[in-house]
Structure 1
Amino acid sequence: MAGIVTTSLLVPQVAASAAPAVEEKAASATPQPNPPAKPRPTVAPDSAKTTGGLVLQNTGSPEEGAASRAALCNFTTNGDYVHVSSGDASGHGWWVNGDCDTEYATVTVTLQEYFADGTWHDISEGEATVLSGGGRGKRATARATCEDTSFMASWRTVVDVDLVGIIDDSTTLTTDYQDLPCAVYD
């Protein structure tokens, strides 16, 4: 013989004034469009590769507006490929003095990450006033903490050297990009 189960739910009576207010949506409400999605980091196409390499020849002049080539001095701007170090995207920039009459230069290195909208985004910047040569204590470092290490993204550095006390050209070095398991969402 089959049994019959009856379930009763007892709910206490609540006064109408104590009941939570419920807003009714107007039938004529216009749906709001979704905001455009932010571009995401991605791997750059081959067409985004630069031909900058890792070294750039530069010139400087001790005299403002010097027209004579004899007044020019020579130095190089250097950078390494962006790499992952201790969970960060990391890149370095430095300079090597050729024959300029200065011991120091201010080196700025900018980490750039490639995004799906086809643009390079500045993610991090480091600056240091350093002696010529590179290596520990003689270079600028830029770092950005990887937010997603399971996602490949393209990275490069842009390095600018400004000689201390000497006017130099405004040319910057842009290194070729590297595809790394590191994404930062800006």
Structure 2
Amino acid sequence: MVSTAHAENVSEPVSTEPVITPLVSWWGCDWHGQADYPHVTNNEASVHGYWVKDGGDCPATGTVTVELQALGCSQFGCTWITQETDRAPDVKPGSGTGRWATPHKACANNNSTGWRGRVDTALKDFYDPFGWEDGPAKDLNCSPA
């Protein structure tokens, strides 16, 4: 015999409001990728990218991928163009030597050009819901070669 449910037998939900749970509660770790200001050293533009632990129980290391981008413009407008990419595997959170990826691009001349870094962090054996995070833009006297 098949029983049928009747609306009058179903209790009302306690609340119809959505439940919002912080990401740190869902995944146990909250982090973000970060880039410093682009700079010129030895006639090359470069930027440092790293990851920062914001809270929770995070893996000890992650792979940081950084794109160094220059602003390219035409009669149709301007867009960021990736010049170089660097990847640093198995790095601990925080900035400093051995904890960041640093792409470099030679300067063709001293024309002022906008530069920025983009960072993507993939923590070891951890779900990665995030994409690229854009760092601060800065004009440098360095046009990409």
TM-score, normalising length: structure 1: 0.59
**Structure 1 Cα separation of the partners of residues 126 and 82 of structure 2:** 27
- Which stretches in structure 1 are left out of the alignment for 5+ residues? 1-58, 61-68
Alpha-carbon contact 2:48-2:102 (below 8 Å) kept: yes
Whether 1:103 and 2:63 are equivalent positions in the alignment is no
Identity of aligned residues (%): 31
State the alpha-carbon separation in 2 of the partners of residues 71 and 80 from structure 1.
Answer: 27
Q: Which of 84, 109, 113 is the matching residue for 1:148? A: 109
Aligned partner of 2:93 in structure 1 is 132
Alpha-carbon distance in 2 for matches of 1:123, 1:71:
34
Q: What one-letter code is carried by the residue in structure 2 that aligns with 1:100?
A: D
* Aligned equivalents of 2:143, 2:30: Cα separation in 1: 37
The Cα of 1:167 is off from its aligned counterpart by: 0.6
In structure 2, which of residues 117, 126, 129 is the aligned counterpart of residue 166 of structure 1? 126
8 A Cα contact 1:75 1:100, kept in partner = no
- For residue 72 of structure 1, what is the aligned residue in structure 2? 28
Gap regions ≥5 residues in structure 2: 1-22
Between the aligned partners of 2:46 and 2:84, the Cα distance in structure 1 is 9
SS where residue 103 of structure 2 aligns? strand
Partner of 1:183 in structure 2? 143
Paired residues, what number? 118
1: CA distance, partners of 2:131 / 2:71 = 21
What TM-score comes out, normalization by structure 2 length?
0.74
Question: How far did 1:176 drift?
Answer: 2.6
Partner of 2:16: none
Q: 1:93 aligns with which of 46, 49, 54?
A: 49
Cα RMSD of the aligned pairs, angstroms, is 1.6
Q: CA-to-partner distance for each residue in 1:121-146, whole Å, 9 max, x for gaps?
A: 11001110211111010111111011
The structure with the largest alpha-carbon Rg is 1
Query: Structure 1 residue 156: deviation in Å?
Result: 0.7
- SS of the residue corresponding to residue 62 of structure 2 reads strand
Check 1:96–1:147 CA distance in 2 against 1; reply closer, same or farther (3 A cut).
same
Q: Which has the higher strand share?
A: 2
Contact 2:44-2:106 within 8 A present in 1 as well: yes
